[in-house]
Amino acid sequence: MKTSVIGAGVMGSGIAQVFAQAGHSVLIFDVNPNVTQKAIQRITSNLNKGIELGKLSEEDRDLCLSRISSTDQISEIKADLIIEAVVEKLEVKIELFRKLAESNSPDTILATNTSSIPITQIAAGVPNPERVIGVHFFNPAHIMKLVEIVSGAHTDPMIAQRCYDLIKETGKTPIMAKDAPGFIVNRVARHYYVESLKALEENVADHETIDKLLESSGFKMGPFRLMDLIGVETNFSVTESMYNLFYQDEKFRPSRIQKQKVDAGHFGRKTGKGFYDYSS
């Protein structure tokens, strides 16, 4: 199966790696060629880490990389499965899928990696909405096992099953989910971030202490370290989306502190600074 990933950021490159390691020919698209170049470098670094840990051979790495190509021309995107991992904005995703629909078969599966935008809303603006589906990976995509397969009101059940089987073949653990705000994981996990941010706003403790407390309670990574890994701006966007989808329910209220980080461009590890400083 020919696969294409739209968006060469941390999530997009991780998704591309997953499919390439599973034997797919993968074309990565980004409007910025420098971003796609960094994506290839990131994938190479991930694979080299796998070799160091004894999980991969050099031959495995070279085979994986040989299956990956890149482009900055959207007209070159022609695939059986297209997964977008772009900015969390409804209008951007709809416009992207409309463009891709023009140059691809009506049978091409258009999958979105959105964390919270309703699949039904995206599909409603796209030709042949029955082939639009959520295939939601978690960061880092090449490591995290869980993938949500999210069906909107239009999604063909056969497409959902096909994606479920396909993801299972990559070695991931797919689950079927309905099109509800935040789907399953983000709805449940949102309060891990929101309540931690509220505690910070109310000066209950500083962010390092909150992280240490939750990590000592059994969580692998504290909420502030995790937000820095995911991207503070991405995490904020998801919270804002869910807040609106739940009609401004106070329990999903976005944090002023997090908004200030976003305004300052302190997105976490990707920018060298978030709740923690990564510049040194």
Is there a contact between 136 and 150 (Cβ–Cβ < 8 Å)?
A: yes
Give me the catalytic one of 24, 136, 142, 154.
136
Chain-centre distance for alpha carbon 250: 26
Q: Give the C-alpha separation, 259 to 127, whole Å.
A: 35
Q: Which of 84, 88, 148, 233 is catalytic?
A: 148
Strand-pairing partners, residue 70, are 28
Based on the residue annotation, tell me whether 186 is a catalytic residue of this protein.
yes
Out of 46, 151, 186, 241, the active site residue is: 186
| DSSP for residue 272 | T
Contact 113, 133 (CB under 8 A): no
Q: Would residue 148 show up in a list of annotated catalytic residues for this protein? A: yes
- Active-site residue identified among 4, 46, 70, 115: 115
CB 157 within 8 A of CB 192: no
Pairing, β 146-151 against β 132-137: antiparallel
> Is 151 noted as a catalytic residue in this protein?
no
Three-state DSSP at 277 gives strand
Known active-site residue 136: yes
Catalytic residues: 115, 136, 148, 186
